[in-house]
Amino acid sequence: MKPCFDAGRAGSITRVPGIEAGHFTETRRPTGCTVVIASEGAVAGVDVRGAAPGTRETDLLAPTHLVDKVHAIMLAGGSAWGLDAATGVMNWLEEQGMGLDVGVGRLPLVPAAVLFDLQVGDMRIRPGAAAGHAACADASSEDLPEGNVGAGTGATIGKVFGMQYAMKGGIGSASITIDGVTVGALIACNALGDVIDPDTARVIAGARSADGLRLRETRRALLHGDPPQPLLAGSNTTIGVVATDAILTKAQAHRLAVAAHDGLARSINPVHTMSDGDTLFALGTGRTDRRPGMLLLATLAAEVTAIATARAARAAHSITTAQGLYLPGAADWG
């Protein structure tokens, strides 16, 4: 089956006019954070589907709430501790004179989401405010590095039957431009389930067999009756951002985030579980005067999300932690 979109030229969320992004990768253990910046502000929405999310400032994105625009989104490892990286983003934005004008100064608003990577290396090392600030300093409009970087540094995939059978996750990006409108996605994949090629439905990475040498195919194994291992709630999670240069209302931004989860459903199985905190943000920079309509924008959002998720898995490289945990990556395994 020929892919409907050439993932070899998948692009990056930074090809959306008005969007920059950067990583901080913690070298002392596998973890990190990634920031998406809209320096001129962007209308934003969010949709949380996983049952165990770790988030910050998501309520303000509700269509009925006051705030119209945000200037950055933070994605981080470190579980709930990683939310502190958003403070560093706030500090950096304030230094640049960005944020909501509150009369006596500017208040940067930075929604954030985190994934659980505490089982990979020393959990006492996690992204903080300095990490968020460093990610901002790294931000540019260049295509982003993918795989074991930023928020994807400590990500893992396929833990349904135990961490010892999991594989390395990562971060990936993609974009599509049609008739002068660009939609892009950035996905940090730390999924409980397998990552699936959205065009062929073949498993890219996920739970391995008992001998560790082949893919187990979680969906088929569960349907066959193989029992899953008891899991700590929230110990997984796929998080990301979808952005477009189209003009959006807050309600439309919310619907774009909703549609983007269709891309997760095409590229992760199982997805949106009780042990995942799957959260997707949507941004509209309004840098183009084209108005393609929500049907096309929603279709593109789902497509780039699915491609970016697959790329996150394909770009991941194998690691062995100091504690002896081996996590093969699809980029160099098999």
Residue 334 lies in a domain: no
Residue 2 lies in a domain: no
Tens-level pLDDT at each residue, the chain (334 residues): 344 444 446 899 999 999 999 999 998 999 999 999 999 999 999 999 988 899 999 999 999 998 889 999 999 999 999 999 999 999 999 999 999 888 999 999 999 999 999 999 999 999 999 999 999 999 999 999 999 999 999 999 999 999 999 999 999 999 999 999 999 999 999 999 999 999 999 999 999 998 888 999 998 989 999 888 877 665 789 999 999 999 999 999 999 999 999 999 999 999 998 888 899 999 999 999 888 899 999 999 999 999 999 999 999 999 999 889 999 999 998 6
User: How many independent structural domains does the chain possess?
Assistant: 1
Residue 169 lies in a domain: yes
Residue 35 lies in a domain: yes
* pTM of the predicted structure, to 2 decimals: 0.95
Residue 208 lies in a domain: yes
Residue 1 lies in a domain: no
CA pair distance 87, 51, nearest whole angstrom: 25
CATH code of the domain containing 129: 3.60.70.12
In 3D space, the residue among 13, 2, 4 whose CA is nearest the CA of residue 312 turns out to be 13
What does 160-183 look like in DSSP terms, one character per residue? TT-GGG-EE-EEEEEEEEETTEEE
CB 168 within 8 A of CB 149: no
Neighbours of 241 (CB within 10 A): 36
Residue 240 lies in a domain: yes
Phi, psi (rounded to 5 degrees) for 74: -110, 130
Phi, psi (rounded to 5 degrees) for 37: -115, 135
Structural domain boundaries, residue 307: 7-327
Residue 319 lies in a domain: yes
Give the residue ranges of DSSP H helices in 49-202: 85-95, 129-138
Name the amino acid, one letter, at 138: D
